[in-house]
Chain A
Amino acid sequence: MSRSRLSLIFALTLAATAPGSLQAFCGFYVGRADTKLFNKASKVVLVRDGDRTVLTMSNDFEGEAKDFALVVPVPTFLERGQINVGNQASLDHLDAYSAPRLVEYWDEDPCNVRRYERMMPAGAPPPVQSARAKDLGVKIEAQYTVGEYDIVILSADQSDGLETWLIENGYKIPSGATGVLGSYIKQKMRFFVAKVNLAEQKKLGVQLLRPLQIAFESPKFMLPIRLGTVNANGPQELFVFALTKNGRVETTNYRTVKLPTDTDVPLFVKDDFSRFYRDMFAQQVKKEEMHVVFQEYAWDMAWCDPCAAQPLSAGELHQLGVFWVGDEAAGQTQGRARPAPPGGGAVNVFVTRLHLRYDADHFPEDLVFQTTGDRTNFQGRYILRHPWTGSGDCAQANAYRKNLAVRQQTEAETLAKLTGWEIEDIYKKMGGKPSASVGGSKTNPSAKWWENLFGNK
């Protein structure tokens, strides 16, 4: 039998978001039509070294491209060269690489100790009127067309002037945004406003909106999430993929908590991993009263074990804004799955995947981060252990069958605790409450507890 039957089951945590709704990133989406706006999940790649930041913003916007608009407060003015349209595939790869994963193991024949392991994937601007803007106290600092987007960099004196300008230029501003805009204006922040240039989009042949990237230098290491909560229809999801040289990234104004990991779960979870992960995350959010940021992954990008996806190549990292990986890296292909040999060109990148569910009540402040020197590896990993179903009748086999029932019982209880699922439903899906007779056990229920203790039954 092959020992190389490795597979890995992973699921994208986006399954945790409500289907069919629009969403917002740090800013809010404002419709040019009367489309009702909602918020869903956002993915952000935050590359940071010193005061240099590259921010890649991706979203699952599902409406008409003409309705898309994004407003993000930014700490500095942005020149044309500081704005880019990113590569969605690289971001998706990073998402897959760092996703929580399900791992399968097969129990060996207790009479003939061997182990088989398998891991497998499973689911895994039109011209704006400067004069009018000036009247409103809004300064159009720059306008660019980047890819399929029209981008305006704004500064403003007053929030109501900015709000009026946005409305007059066809943006629909949710009520309550004025105060939030005002606080950013007083903090001397600019506004990065993007909408889709339909002609450019058609010319480029782009169907799905690609991520927007900005690069800037500022001591502020934060993500503005407050605007995103203004028009939120319930809590939102945010995934932050932080890429640094030094180590793990954590929030300084909210507690960062590691997600439960390395737990054994019943086998049926294999067919329902998305729901398992969604419900487990919801349960953990509930347990922490929605006050914390969850760490789902922290790893040196040079390798992985087990790999939910291969590590990103230097070229992909460069596309995501990892500026210390040189331009020459852009042409490189797939990374390696194990640490590179000394001098072998391994990239000096550490990834932290953070996931939070937030609303204005529980996350009143913008997220503030710090980079730590912690390079301890962490991954969300859930384990399936397939029982041995052989017919061996050695003493070890009988002991195994007894322990198996206990183990499966523990797996069910763990699953109930992690997800909040009813234990009876779990038993039902497991085919009944685990007992020593399950799985073809030949154990005599009246056997004495000490029979196998000294191996002299």
Chain B
Amino acid sequence: MKISFLPRDARWLQITALASLLFYGWVALGFDITAPRTAVILVSAFAAQWVGDRWGRGADFEPKSALISALSLCLLLRTDSHLLAAAGAAAAIASKFLLRWNGKHIFNPTNIALVLLLLTGGGHAWVSAGQWGSATVFAFALVGAGLLVVTRAARADVTFAFLVAYASLLVGRSLLLGEPLTIPLHGLQSGGLVLFAFFMISDPRTTPNSRVARLVFAALVAGGACYVQFWTFRPNGLLFSLAACSLLVPLFDWFLPGARHQWVSLSSTPPQPNPEPCLVPASPSFSR
């Protein structure tokens, strides 16, 4: 069903949702990101997008996609270095143009940028996983916002499969250890988890094309995250797991082919055709 009051381009929904979350983080949660740092990330992302659009694929500059990636980095990336912030934003955008296979980019741009910075930043880049707290009301609000975006892109399956798998693993682990269920429930009430599930793993450009493959992919990401968290005892398991599992997506698409994601217009006005569908920044994810 198409709804007339919604913007034709779903990216505006994403931008609104991400900007609202950032504003909420600033005002209510005291996020450690300054206006200059935000500006650095935005400028760097726009510059990289401009270079990629103009020189990479000879198309018009498309700022909305870069804005989404930049806002996502503002939400998640914490660093004490403007240089790293700029490098992260540029790497996120560059990954869309450079790390591609069969017309799809391999990594969610925000995800790969964060992983690269965490691995190579020498301790000067980090992700404050606990910054969202565990306030249930906020988590529900986030779920609602995420749902709105996700359902538009017909990629809710990967989100829900991931959440079910991750919740099952957390609950199963606690049952195995004889822990009270308040422990896995606390882990599931994380705003960061909800954000990851609804805005990052749901990226239609980096998830497998077939539904079955997406369900397996989601379970693998959940399993990998638990491995990082409970076996290696390192933070940011979700991010590392998604980046690692993204490398398997070409294999999934090879063995379990499916229809590539096509964006559905939100409003009654049909969208304009785009000569390069794979670069249409219309997914409900941090990448687009």
Q: Which residues of A contact B (CB under 8 A)?
A: 159, 179, 182-183, 186-187, 218-222, 246-247, 250-258, 289, 291-292, 360-361, 364-365, 368, 370-376
The interface residues of chain B lying within 8 Å CB-to-CB of A219 are: 232-234
B129 at the interface (CB under 8 A from A): yes
- Inter-chain contact A372/B186, CB cutoff 8 Å: no
The interface residues of chain A lying within 8 Å CB-to-CB of B29 are: 255
Output the least CB separation between A184 and chain B (Å): 9
Q: Which residues of B contact A (CB under 8 A)?
A: 29-30, 32, 78-81, 121-126, 128-135, 176-180, 182-183, 185-187, 190, 232-235
The interface residues of chain A lying within 8 Å CB-to-CB of B232 are: 219
Output the least CB separation between B35 and chain A (Å): 15
Given contacts A254-B130, A255-B131, whether A183 and B80 have CB atoms under 8 Å apart is no
Q: Which of A222, A251, A365 counts the most B-chain CB atoms under 10 A from its CB?
A: A365
Given contacts A187-B177, A373-B125, whether A253 and B182 have CB atoms under 8 Å apart is no
Q: Can you add 10 more A-B contacts, CB < 8 Å, to A254-B134, A255-B133, A376-B32? A: A179-B178, A246-B123, A252-B130, A253-B129, A364-B182, A365-B187, A368-B235, A373-B121, A373-B125, A373-B126
CA distance A376 to B186 in the complex (A): 29
- Inter-chain contact A365/B186, CB cutoff 8 Å: yes
- Inter-chain contact B233/A221, CB cutoff 8 Å: yes
Output the least CB separation between B32 and chain A (Å): 7
Partner among A183, A220, A257 whose Cβ is within 8 Å of the Cβ of B178 = A183
Output the least CB separation between A291 and chain B (Å): 6
Output the least CB separation between B279 and chain A (Å): 34
Q: Chain A residue with minimal CB distance to B177?
A: A183
- Inter-chain contact A186/B178, CB cutoff 8 Å: yes
Closest 8 A/B residue pairs (Cβ):
A255-B133, A364-B182, A373-B124, A183-B177, A219-B233, A252-B129, A372-B126, A182-B178
- Inter-chain contact B177/A250, CB cutoff 8 Å: no
The interface residues of chain A lying within 8 Å CB-to-CB of B123 are: 246-247, 371-373
- Inter-chain contact B233/A257, CB cutoff 8 Å: no
The interface residues of chain A lying within 8 Å CB-to-CB of B178 are: 159, 179, 182-183, 186
Given contacts A186-B176, A186-B177, A364-B182, whether A374 and B78 have CB atoms under 8 Å apart is yes
CA distance A124 to B135 in the complex (A): 35
Q: Chain B residue with minimal CB distance to A375?
A: B80
The interface residues of chain B lying within 8 Å CB-to-CB of A246 are: 123
- Inter-chain contact B183/A291, CB cutoff 8 Å: no
CA distance A374 to B125 in the complex (A): 9
- Inter-chain contact B134/A182, CB cutoff 8 Å: no
- Inter-chain contact A291/B133, CB cutoff 8 Å: yes
The interface residues of chain B lying within 8 Å CB-to-CB of A258 are: 30
Output the least CB separation between A230 and chain B (Å): 12
Partner among B78, B80, B134, B180 whose Cβ is within 8 Å of the Cβ of A255 = B134
The interface residues of chain B lying within 8 Å CB-to-CB of A368 are: 235
The interface residues of chain B lying within 8 Å CB-to-CB of A159 are: 178
The interface residues of chain B lying within 8 Å CB-to-CB of A220 are: 233
CA distance A375 to B133 in the complex (A): 22
CA distance A190 to B138 in the complex (A): 38
Output the least CB separation between A388 and chain B (Å): 35
CA distance A162 to B187 in the complex (A): 28
CA distance A218 to B234 in the complex (A): 11
- Inter-chain contact B80/A253, CB cutoff 8 Å: no
Output the least CB separation between B42 and chain A (Å): 21
Enumerate 14 A-B pairs (CB-CB under 8 Å) in ascending A order: A179-B179, A183-B177, A186-B176, A247-B123, A250-B130, A253-B129, A253-B130, A254-B133, A256-B128, A258-B30, A291-B135, A364-B186, A365-B187, A374-B32
CA distance A50 to B42 in the complex (A): 33
Given contacts A253-B130, A258-B30, whether A370 and B80 have CB atoms under 8 Å apart is no
The interface residues of chain B lying within 8 Å CB-to-CB of A182 are: 177-178
The interface residues of chain B lying within 8 Å CB-to-CB of A251 are: 130
Partner among B30, B79, B130, B233 whose Cβ is within 8 Å of the Cβ of A373 = B79
Output the least CB separation between B278 and chain A (Å): 35
CA distance A179 to B126 in the complex (A): 34
Output the least CB separation between B228 and chain A (Å): 11
Partner among A221, A255, A289, A365 whose Cβ is within 8 Å of the Cβ of B183 = A365
The interface residues of chain A lying within 8 Å CB-to-CB of B177 are: 182-183, 186-187
Q: Chain A residue with minimal CB distance to B132?
A: A255
CA distance A375 to B123 in the complex (A): 11
Output the least CB separation between A173 and chain B (Å): 16
Q: Chain B residue with minimal CB distance to A186?
A: B177
CA distance A253 to B182 in the complex (A): 13
Q: Which of A159, A186, A218, A258 counts the most B-chain CB atoms under 10 A from its CB?
A: A186
CA distance A365 to B190 in the complex (A): 13
- Inter-chain contact B130/A256, CB cutoff 8 Å: yes
Q: Chain B residue with minimal CB distance to A184?
A: B177
CA distance A31 to B81 in the complex (A): 51
Q: Chain A residue with minimal CB distance to B230?
A: A187
CA distance A222 to B125 in the complex (A): 20
- Inter-chain contact A291/B134, CB cutoff 8 Å: yes
- Inter-chain contact A253/B233, CB cutoff 8 Å: no
Output the least CB separation between A298 and chain B (Å): 11
The interface residues of chain B lying within 8 Å CB-to-CB of A371 are: 123
Output the least CB separation between A368 and chain B (Å): 8
The interface residues of chain B lying within 8 Å CB-to-CB of A291 are: 133-135
Output the least CB separation between B260 and chain A (Å): 36
CA distance A221 to B236 in the complex (A): 14
Q: Which of A218, A258, A292, A370 counts the most B-chain CB atoms under 10 A from its CB?
A: A370
Given contacts A257-B30, A291-B133, A364-B183, whether A250 and B80 have CB atoms under 8 Å apart is no
Given contacts A252-B129, A255-B134, A374-B32, whether A364 and B124 have CB atoms under 8 Å apart is no
CA distance A291 to B133 in the complex (A): 8
